[in-house]
Amino acid sequence: MLEHEIRESIEEVRTGTLPRREFIQRMVAVGLSAPTASMLLMHAGIAQAQPTPAYKPTKRGGGGPLKVLWWQGATLLQPHFANGTKDQEGSRIFYEPLAVWDNDGNLVPILAAEIPSRENGGLTADGKSVTWKLKRGVTWHDGQPFTADDCLFTWEYAKDPATAAVTSGVYKDVVVTKVDSHTIKVAFAKATPFWATAFVAAEGMIIPKHVFGPYAGAKSREAPGNLKPVGTGPYKFVDFKPGDMVRGEINNNYHMPNRPYFDSIEMKGGGDATSAARAVLQTGEYDYAWNLQVEDEVLKRMEDGGKGRAHIIPSGDIEFMQLSLTDPWTEVDGERSSLKSKHFAFTEPQVREAMALLADRNAIQQFIYGRTGVATSNFLNNPAKYRSPNTKFEFNIDKASALLDAAGWKKGADGIREKGGKKMKFVFQTSVNGIRQKEQAVIKQACQKAGIDLELKSVTASVFFSSDVANPDTYGKFWCDMQMYTTTMTQPDPERFMDQYTIKECSTKANKWQGRNIARWRNEEYDKLFAQGEAELDPVKRAALFIRMNDMVVKDNAIIPLISRPRVRGANTKLVTSLSGWDLDFSVLQNWYREA
């Protein structure tokens, strides 16, 4: 079937003239597999409906232990220092936001009494403020009442530069005021079309004033609560061994009826994605496993065991490479990768373009990811209305070599390109993961043919994704030439996703390497577009702005998108979850239960 015919068939599904099942049958008839056909629809923004299962338990507790595997073990339990998903998830067991995102991109209240709207008076017509009514009768795990003062404190805590919170970008440009004991108002400096950021989802978890108040600002890292959380969530803290195990017990005073179902939770860290998949899908030793970045054929074999199955949830997550634009090997004013420095090769546009041509995305998708990823040229892939039609990718070693020749990088006697006494020898790092090491190998092989020598470095995931300011191997420092990982999109809007290319978000020593612009790519025109996008109330014009932003960063090749990744999780066949592609796995942990 020709490519344009596939597109026409997808459009028929979109318009409702071709049922999803018939589309898959049509694709299978021309040689595609059913999972590949489903992925085509997913990548086109046509996700299979994921209805939220009805909650069946009629009483709190009685479900025994819930055993979950996060092969990147949590290293801290403070949501505003959580630089990686593992720490956000560990924190989410205990802490809660006002609202979360379901799989359809709708807000669901948690600590909020209701979702603000024009109808209930929560949203103003000018887009400059939102008023949240808080749920009454909620208590912290130590019995203290949850009130508006805790929201106000969380805002002050996160926005304080001395705190160095990773969530500072969410809170520093808003003003939060207390209306009454259970009502707060969040005001914006300008019209704000996407207002559901502060106090919402992964970055919205609220911390108790009475616990963290004495440790605000410069003392923030000294707080015992960073490792011993006191939250409002369905489980109370029992024990924590960083990088290894988080334990919680049922919160018998939880503010939702008949919840939680499980009596306790064990979040085990360490190992790797393959062993985690095996422990759930094949042996049934655990109930649930996060982020199964495992070759698709391996997953299928494990599923045959019948103990568990893989859940594939559409999302905006992206596996990509970053090229360092600063010098990671030389200190300037006591700082490696200083914004005052330049990388000896990657500051040249021709070199970056050549590197993009040496990424064989199709091979990575076909032979490694299968149904669990789609090759892409875009950083911003979902929701579909934000996906750019203006980019494309190509794998072409000859074309890359010609670009490097023209830029003056000539092959030496050892076959490695050099110019001005500098050889094209780069350190390429990522986390320890079977898929990622194979991705590295694919890219290294192409680079070798083009006269580039890559030293492959693999860092233990719990270290790579740590927010430890003393560790030189964290991805936030990016003290090497190239690196690769997945960045997650935690809301069905690109604003918080695309702010990671604004100048103010550059990761530096001054912000303790907590800035989200880890690539340290700087473009003033991009910043202007981003500012427009923050204030544009017309959804069509706003989408066009974010498409232009995507095109700018992609076409400059400072980052190289590889695979658009749905979220792949493993669960026992009897475990009922409510997973969302726009929020944390534990976003509605209180609703998980086990079928009889």
Amino acid making up residue 494 = P
Q: How far apart are the first and last CA of the chain?
A: 46
Closest CA to 262 of 67, 77, 55, 53: 67
SS3 (DSSP) at 302: helix
Are 103 and 580 within 8 A, CB to CB?
yes
Question: pTM of the prediction?
Answer: 0.73
DSSP 221-282: GG-GGGTS---SSSEEEEEEETTTEEEEEE-TT-SSTT---SSEEEEEE-S-HHHHHIIIII
Strand-pair category, 264-269 with 245-250: antiparallel
For residue 38, give both structure tokens: 């489903």
Burial 6-32 (b: 16+ CB within 10 A, else e): beebbeebeeeebeeeebbebbeeeeb
Between the alpha carbon of residue 318 and those of residues 99, 129, 462, the distances in Å are 24, 32, 20
* Cα–Cα distance for residue pair 251/262, rounded to 1 Å: 10
pLDDT, one tens digit for every residue, the chain (596 residues)? 446 667 677 766 654 556 666 677 677 666 555 545 655 665 555 555 455 678 999 999 999 999 999 988 999 999 999 978 899 999 999 999 999 998 878 899 999 999 999 889 999 988 899 999 999 999 999 999 999 999 999 999 999 999 999 999 899 999 999 999 999 999 999 888 889 999 999 999 999 999 999 999 999 999 999 999 999 999 999 999 999 999 999 999 999 999 999 999 999 998 888 999 999 999 999 999 999 988 888 999 999 978 999 999 889 999 999 999 999 999 999 999 999 999 999 999 999 999 999 999 999 999 999 888 999 999 999 988 899 999 999 999 999 999 999 999 999 999 999 999 999 999 999 999 889 999 999 999 999 999 999 999 999 988 998 888 889 999 999 999 999 999 988 888 999 899 999 999 999 999 999 899 999 999 999 999 999 998 898 888 999 999 999 999 999 999 999 999 999 999 999 999 989 989 999 999 999 999 98
* Cα–Cα distance for residue pair 433/369, rounded to 1 Å: 13
SS3 (DSSP) at 510: coil
SS3 (DSSP) at 88: helix
Closest CA to 359 of 407, 400, 318, 418: 400
- What are residue 127's phi and psi, to 5 degrees? 70, 20
Length of the chain: 596
Question: 434-463, pLDDT tens digit by residue?
Answer: 899 999 999 999 999 999 999 999 999 889
Between the alpha carbon of residue 366 and those of residues 123, 268, 372, the distances in Å are 46, 31, 10
